Structure 1
Amino acid sequence: MNLRWGLLAAGTIAAEFAAGVEESKHGTLAAVAARSAGRAAEFAARFDIPRCYGSYEDLLADPGVDAVYVSTPHPMHAEWAIRAAEAGKHVLCEKPLTVTAGEAEKVIDAAKRNDVFLMEAFMYRLHPQTRRLAELVSCGAIGEIRAVDVTFSYASGDAEVARLADPALGGGGILDVGCYCTSLARLVSQCATGQDVVEPEEVTGLARLDPATGVDEYAMGLLRLPGDIIAQLSCGFRLTQDDHIRIYGTGGQLSVPRPAWVHALRKPGTSHIVLTPEGGEPEVIEVEATQGLFAREADHVATHIADRQAPELTWAETLANMRTLDRWREAVGYGR
């Protein structure tokens, strides 16, 4: 199916997705909307998009739009994903789907009621590296999984800090990048135990909270997952750390020095997984991505439109992740 995409917001991530749609096999750019008509027009000219709107409502009323990509600030995701569903548009919404699990349930209910596709845009889950990593865990390449260590943390620039430090805009490192860490740790547990969806039995954590706003600047979480797997998560937008994935099993370990969410891996190319058997030498496994990650994401939506959900990112998967993020933020005292 060829999808005619409407972009709801015209920011940096929308530009990356627009470039991905241009490279996709089953998508075209039909329209873009922004809060400013001038900004929408500039964006449209940049990507040769035929129609531009100065309001989100006008885009949702466009009969030439099949699917909407929502990339507004986090607190606006729920409202506009619901309104898009009510307008009969299929929805791809940036991560996190919403700010809380309760809001996510309302978005999913809207998708059900209006019989439209809905997916949270965790594009890293579609990368060949992530799929290969999942296969290695599932097949017992390092024995029984015992621990997971995931880090996604950076020092943002001034422009991003304005959003990330504002609780009214869904700020904080846990929602911004900790959601990736949570998703990956849960994926490992799912592959290790053979379950479709898992949630941690225990969630604890600590964070450095901005004394003025209460937003988590950098945080660590500790999860006890099914399979008696312990996961250590580290994230932040005020502290640069080495992004990595490390998975420890009874027969060795898997290491990903550059996870699929890093910017460089959004384009086609080679990435690596290092498998080190217990008492053996490291083996570097090369993983080739022949398509850009946003193009892959757009095509994945088109492929699964009739299913209304994507197999890697089901609604149950999204809700499990959102509930875990709620528990992590509560554990660190977010908003107190």
Structure 2
Amino acid sequence: MKRVITYGTFDLFHDGHKRLLERARALGDYLIVGVTSPSYDNARGKLNVRQSLVERIGNVVESGLADEVIVEEYEGQKVLDIQRLGVDVFVIGSDWAGKFDHLADYCEVVYLERTKGVSSTGLREAGGVLRMGIIGTGRIARRFVREARYVSGVNVEEVWARTHSNALAFVEEFELAGAPETLPDLLQGIDAVYIATPHETHVGFARLALEAGVHVLCEKPMALSVAELEQLSTLADERSLVLLEALKTAFAPGFQRMVAVARSGTIGSIRSVSATFTKLVRSGREVEGPEAGALSELASYPFLAIVKLLGTSPESVTARALKTDGHTVDLFARVNVDYPHAIATATVGLGVKSEGSLVVSGTEGYLYVPAPWWLTDYFETRFEDPRQNRKYYTPFDGDGLRYELAEFSSMIRDGASESFMLRRSDSLAIAALMERSRRDARPFGGTQP
């Protein structure tokens, strides 16, 4: 008897799950299905699992395709299961191609081609699957597809790009259902879209998607002016659609906990916030074009920290920016944001490197997040008496895009217009800081060599 094994969460059981089990079963005589436990899903960064373990096991049993069902509870269990159960073939979807090659020491390893296209049966019903499309095929779009597999109930199906050949190559690489030639065709076949294109295109694409009745998750900055962001928000409300800025740090568990600790009075009253984000970029979109530069590319992150820690209504904003020969955009900038009882500084750079830390100063102590603070998985509170110091550890899985996608999909299913993690007022305040900084930034040091 040829024994086959496969594993999965099997949440919101749909046609894709059924097809995978059917193809796995066809490879042998006896099919064993491992269903992940909640603790293992948490450990591996799987988000938004909506059904209990009992319900998910029931999904597999009711399919009639499994001869035996087991529970996967920890990393490394597959090696032991394969030996203990006398497995001949290990089967998994091609999303994981290469990840389980080490199991070839114990049995045959088969990666099945990804199921292309999953029907939606009502997004607010238990079995509803969110059909996602992507606009853009760049670096961040690639990360998004990889991260989406860690969010239950989401299926990335199609992609559109202004250069159709790029979209076709993207579909081939990630085994998506298709690459429509026109944007209206993409928007016609999906429930929600992720916009991953250059900054200056965000507003136009978001407007078209909302007008087509599609929910929008848009990369930061969603808009470079307050007026444009307000117009998009109004349109989303009119159409009862979710519009969310994909500012991943806002949705990361570590950042949320850091803000909660800082604002809980642990370090006293906050008097200062200093946030820095720099990276060295020599060429490409970040430093070329009318909307490029350190402020538009990076300032959303320190502005997020400032707004979340000090509020949405600063008294004044001043900025200085540096441009060097051969560049028409800012490669380094510092923004000072004054509040009635606190001051903040945001430092960003594409041509200057600095320590990327976040420091929140209070009347009783201070909070320190080491670089890269925007990927928060660890921070400390420090006091005059070092015996009171405390260290905090939280997960930050993968590239972090899974957190924003999980919140976005939950908002759609729950009919929520905004998330406490990044309220509309937060996005508007960040847009206001961005607009004022880019408009009013004074040059310093002249043109430098």
**What is the TM-score when the length of structure 1 is the normalising length?**
0.88
Contact 2:143–2:399 (CA under 8 A) maintained in structure 1: no
Q: Matches of 2:200 and 2:438 in 1, distance apart?
A: 16
Deviation sequence 1:219-268 (CA, Å, 0-9, x none): 00111125x11101100111111111001111111100034534xx7xxx
Q: Which residue of 2 aligns with 1:315?
A: 424
Which letter maps to 2:314?
Answer: P
Deviation at 1:37, TM superposition (A): 2.0
Q: 1:333 to 1:60 in 2, by over 3 A?
A: farther
Equivalent position of 2:383 in the other structure: 277
Hey, what does 1:165 align to over in structure 2?
Answer: 287
Shift of 1:315: 2.0
Contact 1:244–1:257 (Cα < 8 Å) also in 2: yes
Give distance in 1, aligned partners of 2:259 and 2:372.
Answer: 13
Change (3 A) 1:199 1:175: farther
Give runs of aligned pairs for residues 1-336 of structure 1, distance below 5 A. 1=123, 2-62=129-189, 65-158=190-283, 160=284, 163-168=285-290, 170-190=291-311, 198-210=312-324, 214-226=328-340, 228-262=341-375, 271-281=377-387, 282-289=389-396, 293-305=400-412, 306-333=415-442
1:149–1:232: 8 Å Cα contact kept in structure 2? yes
Verify the 8 A CA contact 1:150 1:244 in the aligned structure 2. Answer: yes
Q: What residue is the counterpart of 1:194 in the other structure?
A: none
**Aligned equivalents of 1:209, 1:105: Cα separation in 2:** 31
Q: What secondary structure does 1:51 align onto? A: coil
Instruction: Quote the Cα distance in structure 1 between the aligned partners of 2:289 and 2:317.
Output: 22
Change (3 A) 1:246 1:29: same
Gapped regions of structure 1 (runs ≥ 5): 191-197, 266-270
Distance 1:310 1:293 in 2: 17
Matched-pair identity in %: 27
Tell me the SS of whatever aligns to 2:440: helix
Task: Deviation per CA, 1:22-61: give whole Å up to 9, x if none.
Answer: 2211211111111122211111122211111233232123
Kept in 1, the 8 Å contact 2:147–2:402? The answer is: yes
Q: Residue 75 of structure 1 aligns to which amino acid in structure 2?
A: E
* Distance in 2 of aligned mates of 1:250 and 1:286: 24
Question: Which amino acid in structure 1 is aligned with residue 344 of structure 2?
Answer: A
Give the CA deviation at 1:172: 1.2
How far off is 1:211 after superposition?
Answer: 5.9
Helix, strand or coil for the counterpart of 1:328? helix
- How far has the Cα of 1:113 moved from its partner? 2.2
C-alpha root-mean-square deviation of aligned residues, in Å?
1.9
Maintained 8 Å contact 2:307/2:426: no
CA contact (8 A) 2:319 2:442 kept: no
| Structure 2 gaps, min length 5 | 1-122, 124-128, 444-449
Does the CA contact (< 8 Å) of 2:308 and 2:426 recur in 1?
no
Preserved CA contact (<8 Å) 1:186 1:225:
no
- Stretch moving more, 295-304 or 81-90: 295-304
Q: Please tell me whether the aligned partners of residues 111 and 117 of structure 1 are also in contact (alpha carbons under 8 angstroms).
A: yes
Q: How many residues align?
A: 313
User: Which secondary structure state, in structure 1, belongs to the residue aligned with residue 193 of structure 2?
Assistant: strand
SS at match of 1:53: coil
Separation in 2, partners of 1:44, 1:251: 54
